[in-house]
Structure 1
């Protein structure tokens, strides 16, 4: 493998849809010992590399980290045979953490990483769309979400083996002035300045404190409009993923960009 991914450079692309796909190749024992993983990372067991590579549908670059050179080389061979550029994270997970870059706390009680299940009230607006986006993009890409009638959330949680969120008196819900999005960040120890900026917007839109964020009224308007347009909650979530991808990218790369008319001569609009 000729490519190496510098942790700081990779962090600059973290969460962006054209950034590298991050793959955690550590063994289960190593994962348990560290207690954390890199946000957005897909977990692949070393003995499942060939099967996972066969199912891979992306042609994004792949950045992997592992303490086992054999596992890294095996994945590189599989990916390069398909024309997918790949390489290893310089210094591995240890260097990522040493630099103080964000991590996700492993929570086996919620089946994170790998197979978490979540349920909440139907007809989502803000939090109930923002939280699934956060989980699928940064915590557990394989997470499954259910929307059910409000009065049935607790009963359905037991039947579906799913964790309830954004209802009263559960772990993943509002805490004082903070909303369920904040609870997910706290419970998974996900501390990142960009996600904190996004959390400010979500919180203001979700808690009727629009004056606290100039972007919150726009998010609220888009969310209510989508809800009025799309009656199927799962389809609504699928459409909302792009909205939050875009909002996250704006927070990370485009906050200082402006757009005006009439165009100043020689300056792109």
Structure 2
């Protein structure tokens, strides 16, 4: 039985990728991270030895602390955060239990290095439609919740990336872009190791809409129509991204939980 201040792997797994997911803090020691550098999706790394310095950074958030086995390091760090008024729990069984559950794990090796505030910074073309909203959604929900996205003129993406230490995506000739018949969203999933039925299903919809192959999946035409509508509702790309986050959240939940549900009218009469 988990303690009241613990969360189980299965409970946390259901929250990953959702807008109200807790902040996950990985406090494993360096040797354990070196042995397996993957992270629970959306995790941030912190040193348990300096918890008193960074605890207040998470004020007002729900936090889950994970160490290697869910014992002294995570329980101690979570207790310290609670002392500072943070709603904090430790992950029962820690990283080892998460890995044994065969839950999603994030491959961090190809990811850009964070800036001095711990954020990854990305840059792409202005006026996003499909891929340039899909990728920020995936990064914010599964990779780096604090990621920064810069939208600039197409001709300036490479120069801005160079001058501002940002990682370019969804333009020709860069690592994070289309490959063959797949789109940048597919590249992110493949390189980060984020493969799960719901994400794979969503990727097919994104690919179909982004590459003009609407015959790949029935949802593609409506998805593209909604994406183009969003792009015309907002002059500010960041406001469009904010609205697009909810759009992708809803499709992700459908892909994960509701593909078998139907809606018919008129409703069947009682006793029919």
So what's the TM-score if we normalise by structure 1? 0.88
Evaluate the alpha carbon distance shift between residue 26 and residue 108 of structure 1 in structure 2; reply closer, same or farther with a 3 A threshold. Answer: farther
Q: CA deviation at 1:13?
A: 2.8
Q: CA deviation at 1:51?
A: 4.7
- 1:53–1:75: 8 Å Cα contact kept in structure 2? no
1:205 & 1:149 partners in 2: Cα distance? 23
Corresponding position of 1:250: 254
- 1:50–1:75: 8 Å Cα contact kept in structure 2? no
The size of the alignment, in residue pairs, is: 265
Whether 1:178 and 2:182 are equivalent positions in the alignment is: yes
Structural mapping, 1:215-234, within 5 Å: 215-234=219-238
Evaluate the alpha carbon distance shift between residue 254 and residue 59 of structure 1 in structure 2; reply closer, same or farther with a 3 A threshold. Answer: farther
Q: CA deviation at 1:134?
A: 0.5
Q: Secondary structure at the match of 2:6?
A: strand
Whether 1:74 and 2:87 are equivalent positions in the alignment is: no
2:53 & 2:178 partners in 1: Cα distance? 40
Evaluate the alpha carbon distance shift between residue 70 and residue 26 of structure 1 in structure 2; reply closer, same or farther with a 3 A threshold. Answer: closer
2:41 & 2:111 partners in 1: Cα distance? 18
Q: CA deviation at 1:10?
A: 2.4
Aligned-pair Cα RMSD in Å: 2.4
Corresponding position of 1:139: 143
1:51 & 1:236 partners in 2: Cα distance? 36
> Gaps (5+ residues) in structure 1?
none
Q: CA deviation at 1:259?
A: 1.9
> Gaps (5+ residues) in structure 2?
none
Q: Secondary structure at the match of 1:147?
A: strand
So what's the TM-score if we normalise by structure 2? 0.87
Evaluate the alpha carbon distance shift between residue 46 and residue 261 of structure 1 in structure 2; reply closer, same or farther with a 3 A threshold. Answer: same
Structural mapping, 1:253-268, within 5 Å: 253-266=257-270
Evaluate the alpha carbon distance shift between residue 266 and residue 4 of structure 1 in structure 2; reply closer, same or farther with a 3 A threshold. Answer: farther
Q: CA deviation at 1:245?
A: 1.1
Which of residues 127, 130, 140 is equivalent to 1:126? 130
